[in-house]
């Protein structure tokens, strides 16, 4: 096919040779099958912010780092340069997450290059060598549903141990490769320790898995892997091979309100002292 304009620069740079076909068009990007020498890859072309239906919600972008203070100030002011910097940060978030998770052994497509808003990465294939389907396009036996669910819960744990929460995990962004599920679409991934919404997002990710696979193995809907995983993480006990039960009992211990209020007062006093030191 005729190379789209956004992919022409990759051809000129020798990163790819030809564009085979468009694979899909999603809410934040278009994906193409491309050839590079004897290898077949996929190229993810990010859409401009005005063309995306998925917005950069503050829940996802909270505490994301940028390269310098000038960019941070521009992003806060919403200037043209700031919007460009925000767009670049949004795109690079997926690239950073892919490299981080691939290094941690998470089942994600292997990234190869990121050039001018295009992510070149592994093409995930099925047993026949064709592009792997998404989970929502596949029907499962109860046994396969349980097996794939267990695999993906382990992947969620592995991601969290690497400090990452997917943030939008569902049957629509998991591919079924020849050797099992592969997690895709990570531009909204968040830092588990640095984002105040990470717990809620992880619980939603795990609930999405239970709801989807629960269509084929109904008992999965009654599991509570999300709270169990997050509880172990908060306690500093979560390991990649931590045994999980799928059960979680919420603590009924009385809250020490006096202690909570003392912490609030201490934080208020510390902030007042900081303001005084700064002469405000």
Give the tens place of pLDDT for each residue, 231-274: 999 999 999 999 999 998 876 555 455 654 565 455 566 555 54
The token duo for 158 is 């592995």
Those residues whose C-beta lies under 8 Å from the C-beta of residue 37, and which sit 6 or more positions away, are: 17
pLDDT value at residue 266: 56
Buried b (16+ CB within 10 A) or exposed e, 96-133: bbbebbbeeebbbbebbbbeebbbbbbbbeeeeeebbe
Give the tens place of pLDDT for each residue, 184-220: 999 889 999 989 999 999 999 999 999 999 999 999 9
Those residues whose C-beta lies under 8 Å from the C-beta of residue 82, and which sit 6 or more positions away, are: 71, 73, 74, 75, 76
Structure-derived torsion over alpha carbons of residues 256, 261, 266, 268, reported in degrees to the nearest 10: 150
Quick check: is 185 catalytic? yes
pLDDT value at residue 35: 96
Quick check: is 168 catalytic? yes
pLDDT value at residue 25: 86
Class for the domain spanning 5-234: mainly alpha
83, 49 in Cβ contact below 8 A? Answer: yes
pLDDT value at residue 263: 53
Domain boundaries along the sequence of the chain:
5-234
* Closest of 194, 197, 199, 226 to residue 210, by C-alpha: 226
Which of the 8 DSSP states describes residue 124? P
pLDDT value at residue 241: 95
Q: How many helices (H) and strands (E) does the chain have?
A: 8, 9
Choosing from 103, 144, 168, 211, the catalytic residue is 168
Choosing from 185, 191, 256, 269, the catalytic residue is 185
List the chain residues with pLDDT less than 70: 49-91, 251-280
Q: What average pLDDT is seen over the chain?
A: 83
């Amino acid at each position: 096919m005729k190379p789209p304009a956004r992919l022409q620069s990759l051809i000129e740079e020798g990163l790819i040779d030809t564009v085979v076909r468009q694979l899909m068009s999603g809410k934040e990007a278009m994906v193409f099958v491309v050839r590079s020498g004897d290898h077949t890859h996929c190229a993810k072309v990010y859409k401009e912010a005005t063309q995306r239906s998925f917005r950069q919600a503050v829940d996802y972008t909270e505490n994301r780092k940028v390269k310098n203070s000038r960019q941070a100030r521009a992003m806060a002011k919403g200037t043209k340069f700031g919007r460009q910097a925000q767009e670049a940060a949004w795109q690079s978030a997926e690239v950073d997450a892919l490299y981080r998770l691939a290094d941690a052994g998470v089942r994600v497509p292997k990234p190869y290059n990121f050039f001018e808003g295009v992510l070149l990465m592994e093409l995930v294939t099925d047993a026949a060598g064709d592009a792997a389907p998404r989970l929502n396009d596949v029907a499962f036996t109860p046994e396969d549903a349980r097996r794939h669910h267990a695999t993906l819960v382990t992947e969620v744990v592995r991601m969290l141990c690497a400090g990452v929460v997917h943030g939008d995990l569902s049957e629509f962004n998991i591919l079924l490769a020849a050797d099992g599920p592969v997690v895709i679409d990570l531009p909204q991934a968040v830092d588990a320790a640095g984002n105040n919404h990470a717990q809620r997002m992880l619980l939603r990710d795990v609930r999405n898995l239970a709801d989807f696979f629960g269509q084929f193995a109904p008992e999965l809907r009654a599991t509570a892997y999300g709270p169990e995983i997050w509880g172990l993480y908060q306690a500093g006990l979560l390991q990649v091979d931590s045994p999980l039960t799928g059960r979680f009992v919420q603590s009924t211990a009385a809250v020490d309100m006096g202690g909570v209020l003392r912490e609030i007062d201490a934080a208020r006093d510390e902030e007042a002292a900081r303001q005084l030191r700064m002469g405000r």
